[in-house]
Structure 1
Amino acid sequence: MTDHGPAAGTEAAGAPARPGVPAHGPRALRRQHQNVAERPFIVIWESTRACPLACLHCRAEAVTRRSPGELDTAAAEDLLRQVAAFGRPAPLFVITGGDPFQRPDLRHLVAYGTSLGVPVAVSPSGTPTLTPENLAGLREAGCTGLSLSLDGSTAERHDGFRGVPGVYGWTLDAWDEARRLGMKVQINTTVNRGNLDDLPDIVRLVREHGAMLWSAFFLVPTGRGRLLDALTPQEAEDVLNFVYDVGLTVPAKTTEAHHFRRVVLQRRILEARGAGHVPALRLGPLYEKLRARAGELGLHTAVRTARRPPLDINAGRGFVFVSHLGTVHPSGFLPLGAGSVRERRLSEIYRESELFTGLRDPDRLGGRCGRCEFRTVCGGSRSRAYGVTDDPYAEEPWCGYRPGSFPYQEDLAELLPGGR
């Protein structure tokens, strides 16, 4: 599961000194409690690349059979011990794939991690393996949560994206069953050109079925995702502001759209100033279309008292990915390796490798990201930068913000780390 958890973060804002800055109320961003140079908040493990689906965006370019080079049960247990060795509280450990249910030892590994004090979540594919018995087995083994993908509000849309008929029904049935079992459920939506107009209807389903979190995942051009059309920076900006809007209807976050943290700070300041966000942020026709459809569906009716503050986390900075072969990456969407857990301890790779230490240094960022006043809380998608330019430090390709252009810079300084 790609949620970054409910327990992380400290307030990013100091006590504001002038009118207009939101001095009280819910914090805008969450900061990680732990020293991100010492331990990650979340470890994602690609347990296998075997999966019966043929998703259009698949990062792993999944195949039908498991690889003989995968970490076996003993190696996977060792990986869990390496995660536990980071100390308490242990990082969240997410077992993903491919389809994790292709591994017969999945339930055992969940139970083993739980016995070590490591919180374990599972991110399965929407396949017939999502039976009530399998879900109950995960729950009994100690699984803390489940994340499921929903990329369309209808079977035609979702199954078309996933490449196999029936996935939509299996996903909704598993979603309802997991909720019945008392499991936390996260719903992930891959934002792409084919479902932009469908996003409000997807949020409607999240509201109706209930979820701990809805995550809008911004496509990264890697794996099969290289073949899909990219969003423009303007479209990305419009979607990010839509995600902010529905945050009082469903708990919402983004994945690989780190500039959402910029949008949250901008919107908070504009609200405190009583300034209109559409002209101030130069939002476009897609935003107006999404907002109008959300209004038709009643998604602007607040059912929550506060939005979920996004967590300040990025590739290599609180986040680490371990492949099915044991190779360590800053993100599953950033295919640069820093070593193998078969040869070096995960803690050593995370703390000392040049790739990870470099990605934690905002002074390494190039282009507009390097000049941006939001760089310490955003930093852009390092995965997308690499996917487009082959440079993990290049500017975020899907961000159109011009550094220094936000009109209330003094207010912003109060909300950034180190603000007065």
Structure 2
Amino acid sequence: MFDVNELILKKAKELGFGDVVVLSYEMNRRQVRFANNEVTVAKHWHERKVELFVEWEKRIAGTSITDLSEENIEKTLKTLKANLEKMKPKEDYYGIAEGPFKYKDIPETFDKAIVELDDPSEYVERAINAALEEGAKRVAGVLYTDHNKLYLTTSNGVEAFDEGTGIEISVRAFIGDLESGHGTNSVRVLKKFDPESAGRKAGEIAKLARNPEQGPEGRFDVIFDPLAFANLLSYMGWAFSAFAVEAGFSYFANKLDQKVASDIVTIKDIGNLPNGYATRKFDDEGVPTRETTLIENGVLKTYLFNTSLAKKYKRETTANAGLIAPRAWNIVLEPGDYTKDELFQEVKKGIYITNVWYTRFQNYMTGDFSTIPRDGIFLVENGELKPIRNIRVSDNMLRILQNVVALTKDLYHIHWWEVSRPVTTPYVLVKEVGITRATK
């Protein structure tokens, strides 16, 4: 793939492009789907593609190439050039990172055992059995294994390679039409994979959720399960991007060095997190990934920057460059000092939300949003759980951050299709969360 990169870079230079980033991928993915307690579908994908960024006289563009023939590469570059010639210059574009760089190996990001795994369905069976042992009647979900190779070449002297693996499972357990639970487990090395934990949690929640009643409306103290709060933090990862701030899609705009969250909230983005599902050695410009503190004790410390936006803000890149916009790698909410039991005992009357989906923003700039709890939802009274259903969280992201009052000691790494940006989070207690009745 480096030969393909060099060919694209050479052709781009011949056409007069300035900054060029060529990011090539080789991806192998396996999927095992299961329903009604048995495997139903097994698939395998192999894909090669190139992500391309080009600049010409401060006009910038990006595209993907899957047909890697020389003829198609030339055609794509000429089309990009023709399109750029019709565009206005982006006067606040300040270039890409100057290489070369040195990279360190990051622990627990590649495992040959995942590459050589013949049949992952045994892990599915283990997850199913764990859920059934907890009382589930039906179990469904999906398991993925990934093996990816990444080749980066830029016009500023970067040539870099990274290789990674991953295995993850998402399990839903059912008892009746209204009783379900969800559990996940996502790791980069096989020895840390624990499908039973996902199955057990899904089964436990489903068992507790029997015979739910209509939930109340109003403002309640809410315990967010890691699976649920990870969903909110994953969306928050985009709001930290300087690109989102510039584009008018961030409630963190104009809030640098200001209090935006509770004193106990510290949020980081860690691109070089061992065993992190999005961990990489370098960003899309080749800058070595690192740890960046975004919110420290409630204060917004920085946005996520690439080289160009960092220069505009007179800061250093945070090594979060995407081809066009900076993005988060692995969002981490630092833990607190509560056990899970202690956290639940704190709530005299509140709600425990185990999972959410359909998170939607009514206003990106203010942070107004709603999301629908799914699977087990419980009214919490003096530590006791009573199953409820048919509610919606309708609130504001900044108010959620400001109203965090307690965090557990244990952290959970979450990644599945509703949490596409990986998140590590504890259980979170938020006071006075807006709860409305969900419409059918």
Say yes or no: TM over 0.5.
no
Q: Compare relative contact order (CA 8 Å, sep 6+) and give the higher one, 1 or 2.
A: 1
TM-score with structure 1 setting the length: 0.24
TM-score with structure 2 setting the length: 0.23
Which structure shows the bigger proportion of residues in strand conformation?
2
Which structure shows the bigger proportion of residues in helix conformation?
1
For the pair shown, which has the larger CA radius of gyration, 1 or 2?
A: 2
